[in-house]
């Protein structure tokens, strides 16, 4: 399995609200069109109202590549920039988990 942890910092509260709407719209497409996406979760960060954490988990790297090539993701990547002042990305290789079958 392959994953990402992404920290987004929004420009201001209005940008954060618009970003949240974009995330919700994109998430709907991911749920219905991406069987290889195992987990796609976006969180508000407690005490930091302009920050969001995204956790993505894919069946394999091919599923991630399919995700990245999807029109709804390309739109998200292009539109998100207007709302953000920062993005930090960590690529993850899953070692252990509950609720997910970890291939060994």
Backbone phi and psi for residue 22, each to the nearest 5 degrees, phi listed first: -60, -40
Q: Could you state, in order of their start, the residue ranges of all structural domains in the chain?
A: 2-93
pLDDT string in tens for the chain (104-residue length): 889 999 999 999 999 999 999 999 999 999 999 999 999 999 999 999 999 999 999 999 999 999 999 999 999 999 999 999 999 999 998 888 888 776 65
pLDDT at 103: 64
CB 13, CB 50: distance < 8 Å:
yes
Q: Please, what CATH class does the domain formed by 2-93 belong to?
A: alpha beta
């Amino acid at each position: 399995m392959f994953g990402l942890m992404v920290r987004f910092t929004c420009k201001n509260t209005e940008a954060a609200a618009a970003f949240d709407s974009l995330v919700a719209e994109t998430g709907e497409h991911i749920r219905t069109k991406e069987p290889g996406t195992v987990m796609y979760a976006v969180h508000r960060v407690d005490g930091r109202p302009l920050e969001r954490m995204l956790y993505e988990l894919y069946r394999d790297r091919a599923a991630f590549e399919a995700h990245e090539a999807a029109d709804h993701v390309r739109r998200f990547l292009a539109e998100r920039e207007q709302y953000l002042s920062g993005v930090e990305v960590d690529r993850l290789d899953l070692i252990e988990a509950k609720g997910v079958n970890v291939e060994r």
